[in-house]
Structure 1
């Protein structure tokens, strides 16, 4: 008989019986908790990998992308397993294993981070995968298992799936807001992740015991297994105590560390996410270590001779090197510093000799928002030195921001902006074009090799509505950094070419900085 025309059918293999549905409250809690835990992991992962690969658009995109991939594979695997085994036997182990994976994430990322340090795309993806993928995948398997257990009545399939999906989304939203607004501001990422690991482990153990008792089965055997898994998790967490930690403190935005200079007794280097950010001499605020700070000092020395006070506005505080220099060389100078990271202000006061008073006021907040509240024509000098890792935040690099700075700057005042770029120098060209779209006179200070596009470097944009005293600036630079070059007029126009003017509507800063 031809099987293709046969009336005989082969019955489908029935799915394993799942018994009574989970209590509605317990099902909602498991979905809410597991979905929220994934978003806690995702948010904390940015802080965990930042010290090694920075906090750039590529890193953020990698965290989001890998977390979504883990959610997709976890949901797929959880649904597949739920159709082949009783989900009651899988839920508790999934939570306990997710707790162990979360605990192990800390030492794994810190050891691997020392090897993968840098901004290469492969290093970013590998490190983020270590931080997120396994625990997020295990947690994402919980929801389809719970859904399977709740589908006791097929007439309510849409209602059950819709309700649990909504609860999972609410858990993710709640976790995102609580982590971003509360946990990150109050706790180090180590504490956040270890707290999450313990919560997952305890919840998994308690759920396993409850499910066994609800089924009328003895709990001794599974309890031993769960306890063994918990011990493994504690061992993994314990490795964190001996793993290398790149931070002295974790602020809301940075992994920060202050190192003493072995060659200068009172010298201190501030590192943010393991990148050198600022250098100060505790005993001599006029000492400028980094080249770009010498350039800023040279421009200030020409714009306002020593002893003449200034009204200065600083976008970004860091180690407060330039404000301290201006105060030391020009007593009575009013320095207002906009620093988004309040933790850096506290660190500066604790370890870098920052003293707030009549000549120095630090205002915590986003510079873009704060500049808009500054009176027009209120500042002789504006210093732009704000960075997210090694990147100028895009909203501080646009024409609209330059217009706000020009509004705040007095006639004849000067704006200096520190920029870091690498060959092929697309960002610095665009940023010069952007500043020049608002200011009538612009110059660029940088090493010759950097201007030739053969190496990365700091660049200093100098801008004003009045003609710049560039001959005096060149003479001053000749005394503090003879190797540097100043471009203006035709030479600067040739350097900029037809570079894109950045606007709030279109400012692809991270892409312009990409070296490939």
Structure 2
């Protein structure tokens, strides 16, 4: 076949080089690794930063992840647009410096705003999380496209350059996530982590600016006054961080914890976790039970083992160790084994809440689900479930599989008591009752009548056993310790539970069941 000259395409032009000199490969890799890792440090610490004000729930975790991803997306988009319009070199140092300033300012902003948004709805959660994460994460996410543009000196190697730097950024995020989750949050407070990150970003930006200046690129565009303003903002942010209201006495690996003295009872102490009242102890009188649900726990214990009769008790969740101390005081010789996931709370209890480990009380730091599985069958008379993540029972402790493990550990005549918090329309407590009833032959519920009627949120205590429950005796004891409490069982309980979902390891939407809307 014959071709005319017009049928022949022009040969492709050679790739045009990208404007601006490429950075040394090591420096480019460091900037991408460091900036990507810093975003994940912010994301991880944000959960601890907002937890005291809005809790640590699935919604809060989802908000942190979603806002961080949005910041990464907008930052990458913004950085890419700027890289196409201007020489990226003078933009790199300002991005790091501004990210450092934004990180320093995050602490006081969140702590002041948190007091206003405390316990708010979904919009308040999203706003507080955005204040904690969005701006610094956006600035840091702009670094990678700026670096990528500079490294594309030969467009024939675009895939290689982009792929290499993308993998380095991902490795930076992975490294930061693991380092923060396994090391930093266990060793340092949120304040120290964020201020150290802010200083590191600022120093990295200044050093990079000095290096680029030597290479012929300006460190910061604009007049010197702008630089002075930025420096002042950074100092103000760091200064405000030191005076901003801090809801924690200590930060453990899991909680913002605080112990407050009771002004009406000199020996009374209240343990607050993430600003929510968690436990009350009387240092002088371990028999004193302040909160209603602990009185209900005590009433059940008093009936299944009269005062003075020792028990082998297992506690899922320690908190302030109120119930173990009560059992020890009322039943000398009782063996209390406490599984508490937060080792920091065990240390706090020993230091400030009158906890003394010995033959009658042993505390083990670890996840209750894993630790219960290692317990011997039929080794306990009483299992007390009082583990919470903020105000929510951790989902893996609420499933039928977990209840089966509790039943395995109990002796045939033993009892399981579990504390649950729920709000109208009471979907979670109904599901948890259905779940417990799927394993135990006899189940009862203790709660205020207004709560059972769905008129208010409350603590609920489930009582379960394979042996018939002494309902009359428990009812009489409840009248003595808390006349406002009601005991529901048998047909009345079946009507309350209805066709509620049985929670399993495969499907346990605890946070969604607790949603009030």
TM-score by length of structure 2 reads: 0.95
Q: Contact 1:16–1:83 (CA<8 Å) still a contact in 2?
A: no
Residue 354 of structure 1: aligned partner:
355
Q: Contact 2:316–2:340 (CA<8 Å) still a contact in 1?
A: yes
Matches within 5 A, 1:239-318: 239-318=240-319
Residue 53 of structure 2: aligned partner:
52
Q: Contact 1:96–1:226 (CA<8 Å) still a contact in 2?
A: no
Per-residue deviation, 1:216: 7.2
Residue 146 of structure 1: aligned partner:
147
Q: Contact 1:147–1:164 (CA<8 Å) still a contact in 2?
A: yes
Q: Contact 1:327–1:333 (CA<8 Å) still a contact in 2?
A: yes
Per-residue deviation, 1:241: 1.2
Per-residue deviation, 1:234: 1.8
Residue 515 of structure 1: aligned partner:
516
Residues paired across the two proteins, number: 503
Q: Contact 2:313–2:337 (CA<8 Å) still a contact in 1?
A: yes
Per-residue deviation, 1:232: 1.9
Paired with 2:368 and 2:127, the residues of 1 have a C-alpha distance of 33
Secondary structure of 1:410 counterpart: strand
Q: Measured at CA, do residues 218 and 162 of structure 1 come closer, stay the same or move farther in structure 2, by a change above 3 Å? A: closer
Paired with 1:155 and 1:17, the residues of 2 have a C-alpha distance of 11
Paired with 2:221 and 2:247, the residues of 1 have a C-alpha distance of 43
Per-residue deviation, 1:453: 0.3
Q: Contact 1:209–1:219 (CA<8 Å) still a contact in 2?
A: no
Paired with 2:122 and 2:455, the residues of 1 have a C-alpha distance of 22
Matches within 5 A, 1:410-421: 410-421=411-422
Paired with 2:501 and 2:392, the residues of 1 have a C-alpha distance of 17
Matches within 5 A, 1:327-476: 327-476=328-477
Q: Contact 1:205–1:223 (CA<8 Å) still a contact in 2?
A: no
Residues 1:319 and 2:320 are matched in the alignment: yes
Per-residue deviation, 1:230: 3.1
Q: Contact 1:95–1:201 (CA<8 Å) still a contact in 2?
A: yes
Residue 207 of structure 2: aligned partner:
206
Residue 129 of structure 1: aligned partner:
130
Per-residue deviation, 1:18: 3.3
Residues 1:195 and 2:224 are matched in the alignment: no
Paired with 1:209 and 1:485, the residues of 2 have a C-alpha distance of 72
Residue 503 of structure 1: aligned partner:
504
Q: Contact 1:46–1:63 (CA<8 Å) still a contact in 2?
A: yes
Paired with 1:216 and 1:94, the residues of 2 have a C-alpha distance of 15
Per-residue deviation, 1:235: 1.4
**For the aligned residues, what is the CA RMSD?**
1.6
Paired with 2:502 and 2:217, the residues of 1 have a C-alpha distance of 71
Q: Contact 1:430–1:501 (CA<8 Å) still a contact in 2?
A: yes
Paired with 1:395 and 1:27, the residues of 2 have a C-alpha distance of 43
Q: Contact 1:209–1:223 (CA<8 Å) still a contact in 2?
A: no
Task: Give the unaligned 5+ runs of structure 2.
Answer: 1-15
Residues 1:482 and 2:483 are matched in the alignment: yes
Per-residue deviation, 1:484: 0.9
Task: Give the unaligned 5+ runs of structure 1.
Answer: 1-14
Residues 1:167 and 2:165 are matched in the alignment: no
Per-residue deviation, 1:231: 3.4
Residue 43 of structure 1: aligned partner:
44
Q: Contact 2:17–2:153 (CA<8 Å) still a contact in 1?
A: no
Paired with 1:59 and 1:217, the residues of 2 have a C-alpha distance of 41
Deviations 1:206-242 (A, max 9, x none): 1011001012779998887546523321211110111
Per-residue deviation, 1:43: 0.1
Paired with 2:514 and 2:501, the residues of 1 have a C-alpha distance of 13
Secondary structure of 1:258 counterpart: strand
Per-residue deviation, 1:19: 2.1
Matches within 5 A, 1:173-192: 173-192=174-193
Secondary structure of 1:499 counterpart: coil
Secondary structure of 2:265 counterpart: coil
Paired with 2:453 and 2:229, the residues of 1 have a C-alpha distance of 61
Secondary structure of 1:83 counterpart: helix
Secondary structure of 1:504 counterpart: coil
Q: Measured at CA, do residues 222 and 375 of structure 1 come closer, stay the same or move farther in structure 2, by a change above 3 Å? A: farther
Q: Contact 1:212–1:219 (CA<8 Å) still a contact in 2?
A: no
Deviations 1:396-423 (A, max 9, x none): 0000000000000001000000000000
Q: Measured at CA, do residues 460 and 214 of structure 1 come closer, stay the same or move farther in structure 2, by a change above 3 Å? A: same
Paired with 1:24 and 1:226, the residues of 2 have a C-alpha distance of 29
Paired with 2:134 and 2:70, the residues of 1 have a C-alpha distance of 8
Secondary structure of 1:289 counterpart: coil
Matches within 5 A, 1:68-147: 68-147=69-148
Q: Contact 1:96–1:230 (CA<8 Å) still a contact in 2?
A: no
